Amino acid sequence: MGSLISTISTNNRSEALSATADKETQTILYLKKKSLVSIGKGAFGKVYKALGSDTDLAESARKSAKKIELAIKFFIPFQGVSSDESQLNELYWNFEIQEIPNTPKVLYSDPSQDQQMAFIITPYYGPDLRSQIGKLSIDDIEKIAKSLLETLKALEEHGIIHGDINGKNICFDGKNVTLIDFGSSLFILNSHKSCLITTSWYRAPEAVIQVKNYTCAIDMWSLGCFLFELYTGKALFPSRDENPITLMNTIVDKLGAPPPGFFLNSRFAELPEFKELPSSYRSFLPTNDLDQMFKEKSDQETNWKNKRNAENLLDLINKMITYTDRITPQEALLSHSFFNERVY
Ligand SMILES: Nc1ncnc2c1ncn2[C@@H]1O[C@H](COP(=O)(O)OP(=O)(O)OP(=O)(O)O)[C@@H](O)[C@H]1O
Ligand SMILES: [Mg+2]
C-alpha cells in the first residue's frame, strides 16, 4: 500500500483527505461554464462528463493542454467523512482503492465539508454496461469477467467488499473495464455493523436474510447474476419488489431450497413471517430454468469454439451463484475452464 493509503488507514481520515484535496474551485467553475454533459444521477450524486487534463486541470482550463474525458461526481448532500468505520463514504473509498486494478483513479477531489457540494473527478471510463446487455460476444464477456475477477481478487486481499456490483456500476470503453461506485463498500471486518444496500436483483441470499457477517462472496454472487444477464439479455432474479421474502422466493424458484441451517444466524430468521420459510422451502427442487434460459442464447452461437466457451461460462456462473461454498475469484481465475481451456 502507498503512503497516502496507509496514512488514511491509520487514524485521522478526514485530515488525510483534506490534505490531498484539490481546491481548484475556479477550475470547476470553468468546467461548469464549459457545459458539463450529464451522464448519471443516482441516490447520492450527479455525474457529469467534461474535457480536461489528467495532469493539471487548472492548466488545461487556462490553455490547450492535452485534453481527456473526465467524469465529475457531485455528492448531494455531502455527509462528511466520519472516523466511524460504518459511515465511511465513497470519497474515502476512492483513496483506499487506488492500488486495486480496474477501479477509478482519483484526479481531483474536494471533500471539504464547508462547501455546498463535494466532488470527485476521475477519468471517464466509457458508458456503463447497461447499454450492452445481451449484445456482447462471448469473447468480450470473457475479457470483462476476467478483469472484474482480478478486481474482486485484489479487493478480497484488502478485505474490502464492493457491495453493489451490477451493470450501472461497471464501465466498458470497448477495451478496458472499470468497476465504479464504491459508495456501498465496506470492510469485511466491519460487516457486522453495516447495512448492506446492494441493488436487490443482485443481492446475495445471505444478504437478503441479513446474516450477521458478510464476506466478499456477496460480490461473487452479484457478478454471477450480472454475467448471466450480460450474456443472455435476461435478468436472473428480477424480483418485483425489495421485500426479503419476495427476493428469497425469486431465488428459490430457480435454485431450489437453501441447504439446512442456511437461515441460522440471520436477523430475519427472528421475524415471525420468516419462521415459516425454511420448512415451506423444503419441497423446492431446482427448476433448471436457469440452464434453459442460458441455452436459448448459447444455442444461437454459430461456431463450435463459442458454443464450448458458452458452456464454460454457464458452469462458472453456476459456481458463482451457489448458496454456500461459492467459487472464489482466485479459484475461478486459476483453474476454471472458462479462462483456462484453450478451444480452437
Ligand atoms: N468515471 C466514470 N466514467 C464513466 N461513467 C461514470 C463514471 N462515474 C460515474 N459514471 C456514470 O454515472 C452513473 C452514476 O454514477 P455512480 O454510480 O457513481 O453514482 P450513484 O449516485 O452511486 O448512482 P446510483 O445510486 O445509481 O448507483 C454510473 O451508473 C455511470 O453510468
Ligand atoms: Mg452507481
Taken in order of first residue, the domains within the chain and their CATH numbers are 4-123 (3.30.200.20), 129-340 (1.10.510.10)
Three-state SS for 73?
strand
With a 6 Å cutoff on the Cβ, whether 73 touches ligand 1 is yes
With a 6 Å cutoff on the Cβ, whether 39 touches ligand 1 is yes
CA of 275 relative to ligand 1 center, distance in Å: 38
pLDDT higher than threshold 90 for residue 252: yes
With a 6 Å cutoff on the Cβ, whether 90 touches ligand 1 is no
**318-338 confidence digits (pLDDT tens):** 999 999 999 999 999 999 999
pLDDT at residue 191, as a whole number = 78
Residue with CA at minimum distance from ligand 1 atom 18: 181
**H or E stretch at 290:** helix 289-298
CA of 173 relative to ligand 2 center, distance in Å: 17
Say what the pTM is: 0.87
**151-166 confidence digits (pLDDT tens):** 999 999 999 999 999 9
Please, which pLDDT band fits residue 87 given cuts at 50, 70 and 90? very low
d(CA 151, CA 169): 13
Q: What φ, ψ does residue 253 adopt, rounded to 5°? A: -55, -40
With a 6 Å cutoff on the Cβ, whether 156 touches ligand 1 is no
- Ion ligand 2: residues, CB < 5 A: 42, 168-169, 181
Asked if residues 274 and 243 have their Cβ atoms less than 8 Å apart, the reply is no
pLDDT at residue 116, as a whole number = 54
Q: ∠316-336-286 over CA atoms, to 5°?
A: 30
Residue with CA at minimum distance from ligand 1 atom 9: 47
SS3 content of the chain, % helix, strand, coil (to 5): 45, 10, 40
Q: What is the mean pLDDT of the chain?
A: 81
With a 6 Å cutoff on the Cβ, whether 177 touches ligand 1 is no
d(CA 32, CA 50): 9
Please, which pLDDT band fits residue 271 given cuts at 50, 70 and 90? confident
CA distances from 65 to 30, 52, 55, 109 (A): 15, 8, 9, 20
Cα 26 from chain centroid (whole Å): 33
DSSP-derived secondary structure letter, 161: E
d(CA 36, CA 203): 33
Which-ligand-closest: CA of 40? 1
> 138 or 272: which carries more pLDDT confidence?
138
Cell of 80: 462528511
pLDDT higher than threshold 70 for residue 147: yes
**45-67 confidence digits (pLDDT tens):** 788 888 776 654 555 455 555 67
Asked if residues 167 and 224 have their Cβ atoms less than 8 Å apart, the reply is no
Ligand 1 closest atom vs CA 126:
4
d(CA 176, CA 174): 6
**H or E stretch at 47:** strand 45-52
With a 6 Å cutoff on the Cβ, whether 96 touches ligand 1 is no
> 35 or 58: which carries more pLDDT confidence?
35
With a 6 Å cutoff on the Cβ, whether 44 touches ligand 1 is yes
